[in-house]
Structure 1
Amino acid sequence: MDWETLKLFQWEMMAPEFIIFGAAAILSVVDLFLPKKVNRNIIGWLALGSIALAFVALAQVLQAPTVSILFDTFYLDGFAKTFKVLLLIGTALVLLMAIGVKKEEGLEEYRGEFYYLLLTALLGAMFITSSADLITLFVGLELLSISSYILAGLKKKDKRSNESAMKYVINGGIASAILLFGLSYIYGLSGSTNLAEIRLALSSPMSENYTYLLGIAFFMVLVGVAFKIASVPFQMWAPDVYQGAPTPVAAFLSVVSKAAGFVLLIRLALSIFSATPSEGETGTLLIDAQVYLGVIAALTMIVGNLIAIRQRNVKRMLAYSSIGHAGYILVAFTTLAPFMYEAIWFYLFIYIFMTLGAFTVLQMVTETTKSEDISSFAGLYKKTPVLAVAMAVFLLSLAGIPGTAGFIGKLQILTNAFFAHPGHIILGTIMILTTVISYIYYFGVMIQMFFRPVDSKLSSVAVPTGPAVVVVVCVVATIWFGLDPSLATDIFHMTFTGFMDL
């Protein structure tokens, strides 16, 4: 590729990625040469500034037409823009949350590495949203995964952190290998790594001869993605990793990494398998797979919510809660309804605020009591009523109580399920029942905060500036989007121009 060809590309469309990449590279060098006595939070603020710049750069192209560069390997379409908004907001809030972490969290010695590794993980997730080629998709996934592996084991002197990182690496490596094997089948049958060319090749009548091989490929891709979103039966790693990892890392995995996993699923499934013919009456492989996707969604909701009831460790409880919420989002994907994209995007959007808010309150309580047990929340309302009320708002939203953003998100998914053709009545009913079951463990934390005597270890909880901002933003967003979700949906409709983007 010569210089003249390079100059023809619209590189400004990759400005957000260039900003994040440049910031990660520069901050890694700064951290290397910065004296040890200098507080590494300055690197955190610089990383936060780079995300703000990337968000401004993204805002400049929100209404720009779809652009394809680098020989159709990088797309800046409505689909990519809307999900990049989620990724940038989620990572910015995690950074603010981490800046307030005390030494007891185990990040002090490696705080600088945490900040720029978070940026590299974000960069990988952003590449997944814009990738239109199997190679760039996998590179983005691995950049996100490898950064996440390191972040999970960042407390190097903590045995639980070491164990969580080891489990994450082993399980993640196996899942990536299976996903790559499935992608190799797709490449072998289509002769291309470009998603558009693959779709064209596999939608031809000749591909009916390879139906079983394509079914195997779809199954392997689903295994790899199921690990990333922590759905049954590949959810085993999540509780251990969340418990052993620093709280900001667990929050990042629960929100940003999960969102990237769903982006990967949508890109591959809708771009490739929705046009792949099958031997069933429906005519496409993806529609034939709806039954299997529905079973996975149902089991994910059931397992996540039932096991969460038995958890005393609040971080493990939130991990199983995250598994249950992955099942809810899978319900929206399984229906393949006309408003599926809107339901998935909106749920992931509001999930950022209610989950990060809960993790932030958990972090502050844990730093005070030195315990993640549910009893450490006992009497929180009497000692720090503002935090108790904020945590109650997040738990009510996660439970889907009317008046919160979580209720609107679940309502959109249920609407898609019941009014899809054919109506997924069983799947919607399971979602309602598991949502009711989730009240048990969410309200269990609220009972501790409001109706139990004050824990002897619980003094007045200190609220640093960064986490305080996160809690305020998350409370406002959780209530606002619960009462008036139109702002979020307007952003979605402004940038997502229809299925042709894919």
Structure 2
Amino acid sequence: MEILKAGDLVHLRPELTIAACFLLLLLLDLFLPRRIGRSLIGWLGLAGVAVSAVFLALQWNPSEPVSLLGGSFRVDDFGTVLKLVFAGGTALVLLMGIGTAEREGIAAEGEATYLLLAALLGAMILASSADLITLYVGLETLSLSSYVLAGIRKKNRKANEGAFKYAVQGGISSALILYGMSFLYGISGSTELTAINSAVQAADASLTPLLYAAVFLLLAGFGFKIAAAPFHMWAPDAYEGASYPVAAFLAVVSKGAGLAVIFRLFYGVFFQQTLINGQNVSALEYDVFLAIMILAAAAMIVGNVLALKQKNMKRLFAYSGVANAGYLLVPIGIQFSAVHLTNFAELVYYLVAYLLMTVGIFAALLIVERLSGTEALLGFAGLYYRAPATTVALVLLLLSLAGFPVTAGFFGKLFILFGAVQVRMYALAIIMVVTSVLSYYYYFGILRQAFMRSEAPETAGARVPWTVYAVLWFCAVAGILLGFYPQGIISQVQNIFSVTVDLF
């Protein structure tokens, strides 16, 4: 493998900043008094993410992608855009977590902060991986940090149970991914995605069963990472046991990183660019992306149906996350073609909208739990009369999640829907519409409790840090503002992204 030169470090400034901040906070947490370090470490972690985001912004729209470490790590627009999304999501989660550790049952706030940074580093590595080994290193960095974060509330029985299920099923999914990768390596003799792509296109017909086995093993493994049905069974328990900031991180950044690697891996290995050139697609390529579309449809249906009967709010939004994993898989499954080239832009726009909606919702859930002392739907009873401002922000977030017109969630789903219709995936488009309408029942059920129920539970009276309110209102307002300029954002992302340049 090519040795990293000193001049190459400038391209790794975002990742190196996060790594350095992680080590610094780890040392500070050992030596600072807990009274001083509890909030200081949170703010320092937030500052580190902000500096990393500045370095990412400076990498925006380079003249051409930069390959490092023998081509195993790529600095390109695909990775830069997604890493900015991950950094933004982590920053909001860190801000929400400042001052909430003690109430959430987290013994040391510093541990949660630098573990979130480690998980972010893994997500950033995943977004730029062009080699199976680098990809797996990033995947395990993210996964191991997430397992610990899910169980960081050591004295909480639900946290222990959820983290155990998450870790066990996560280990199985990692094994499936490694097994699938072994087939690709055996066929190509290389771990680089471009070399594997060439080998797959030239593979003898006798190797086709092995290629199909690799596809389904990888799809099952990464389906777990993004909590797409039927590989979602860990999510409700892990979300319910985790603290609110950690649950938000698992719902947006961890899911987003899984989608990033699915996009780069499946296009980098199996896409032949035949549709763009107007040629016929091969049977293998057709079946690969058909499998992704089937997974998307299953996630949309299962997630929305199971969310209907949930009374615990964390579990409800865990199933909502399963459904949204399906919506986010649609732009990947419908492929690039001569009539539709905005797949990545649609994915990024809806991912940003989903990030704002979900982080904001978990901030609202934290506030309601402090006010009512319960995580159940009953905690929203009469919320408008107790906390009218919080209820207004909650309305904006739920309207966006439901896909109500003029919100970011509405335009995100609309662009994905139009993309499916453009390539004549009518069944997938119908499933999107029906399941989106189905979600109105449980989203508006929360508003029914807030506005039409006056019997509020006893108020817990716990103090809510101002940072949580800041996150709530930022996400609520940004989700609405994002809906006023959707086409401009999609055009901007589309202008800097090229499937042939960024993925090959």
Same fold (TM over 0.5): yes
1:282–1:288 CA contact under 8 A, matched in 2 = no
Query: 1: distance between equivalents of 2:125 and 2:403?
Result: 32
How far, CA to CA, are the matches of 1:484 and 1:291 in structure 2? 32
Deviation at 1:499, TM superposition (A): 3.4
Residue pair 1:274, 1:287 contacting (<8 A) in 2 also: no
Match of 1:445 in 2: 446
Answer whether contact 1:369 1:458 (CA < 8 A) is retained: yes
Whether 1:12 and 2:15 are equivalent positions in the alignment is no
Q: 1-side partners of 2:152 and 2:495: how far apart?
A: 39
1:246 to 2:229 alignment: no
Report the CA distance between 1:463 and its aligned residue. Answer: 4.4
CA contact (8 A) 1:171 1:237 kept: yes
Task: State the distance in 2 between where 1:429 and 1:494 align.
Answer: 29
Identity %: 44
After superposition, residues 307-456 of structure 1 pair within 5 angstroms as 307-337=306-336, 338-420=341-423, 423-456=424-457
SS across alignment from 2:35: coil
In 2, are the aligned partners of 1:182 and 1:217 still within 8 Å (CA)? yes
Instruction: Normalising by structure 1, report the TM-score.
Output: 0.95
Find the residue that maps to 2:281 and give its secondary structure. Answer: coil
SS in 2 for 1:68: strand
Report the more deviating stretch, 207-216 or 32-41: 32-41
**Matched residue type, 2:369:** T
d(CA) in 1 for partners of 2:4 and 2:457? 65
Cα drift, residue 214 of structure 1: 0.7
Tell me by how many angstroms 1:201 deviates: 2.1
1:476 Cα offset (Å):
1.7
Deviation at 1:403, TM superposition (A): 1.2
Q: What displacement does 1:372 show?
A: 0.4
Please state whether the residue corresponding to 2:36 is helix, strand or coil: coil
Once residues 134 and 143 of structure 1 are traced to their aligned partners in structure 2, the CA distance between those partners, rounded to angstroms, is 14
Structure 1 position 487, deviation (Å):
4.8
Alignment: residue pair count: 493
- In the alignment, the residues of structure 1 paired with residue 59 and residue 157 of structure 2 have an alpha-carbon distance, to the nearest angstrom, of 46
Indicate conservation of the 8 Å contact 2:373/2:459, yes or no.
no
C-alpha deviation, 1:287, in angstroms: 1.7
Give the alignment partner of residue 219 of structure 1, picking from 209, 216, 219. Answer: 216
User: Contact 1:123–1:144 at 8 Å: present in 2 too?
Assistant: yes
More displaced stretch, 485-494 vs 177-186: 485-494
Of 108, 111, 114, which residue of structure 1 is paired with 2:112?
114
Matched AA of 2:451: F
CA contact (8 A) 1:231 1:327 kept: yes
One-letter amino acid matched to 1:492: V
Q: Per-residue CA shift, 1:161-206, capped at 9, x if unaligned?
A: 00001000000000000100100111111001111111122222x4
**Alpha carbons of 1:251 and 1:483: their partners in 2 closer, same or farther (altered >3 Å)?**
same
Q: Aligned ranges for residues 226-241 of structure 1 at < 5 Å?
A: 226-241=223-238
Q: How does 1:170-189 map to 2 (within 5 A)?
A: 170-189=168-187
Q: In 2, are the aligned partners of 1:382 and 1:454 still within 8 Å (CA)?
A: no
What amino acid is the match of 2:417?
L
The corresponding residue for 1:298 is 297
Q: Secondary structure at the match of 1:331?
A: helix
Instruction: Please tell me whether the aligned partners of residues 188 and 200 of structure 2 are also in contact (alpha carbons under 8 angstroms).
Output: yes
Q: Tell me which amino acid in the other structure corresponds to 2:319.
A: Y
Say yes or no: does 1:147 pair with 2:145.
Answer: yes
Q: Shift of residue 356 of structure 1? A: 0.5
Which runs of 5 or more residues in structure 1 are unaligned?
none
* Structure 1 position 39, deviation (Å): 4.3
Check the 8 A contact 1:105/1:367 in 2, yes or no.
no
The amino acid that maps onto 1:406 is G
> Distance between the aligned counterparts of 2:216 and 2:4, measured in 1?
38
Separation in 2, partners of 1:113, 1:62 = 32
Q: Once the 2 structures are TM-superposed, how far is the Cα of residue 491 of structure 1 from its aligned partner? A: 4.3
Structure 2 vs 1, CA of residues 476 and 267 (structure 1 numbering), >3 Å: closer, same or farther?
same
Distance 2:38 2:399 in 1: 35
Q: With structure 2 as the length reference, what TM-score do the two structures score?
A: 0.94
Using a 3 Å threshold, how does the CA distance of structure 1 residues 163 and 78 change in structure 2: closer, same or farther? Answer: same
Deviation at 1:494, TM superposition (A): 4.9
1:135 to 133, 136, 140: 133
Aligned-CA RMSD value:
1.8
Distance 1:243 1:85 in 2: 28
* Residue 265 of structure 1 pairs with residue 262 of structure 2: yes
Contact 2:270 2:288 in 1 (8 A): no
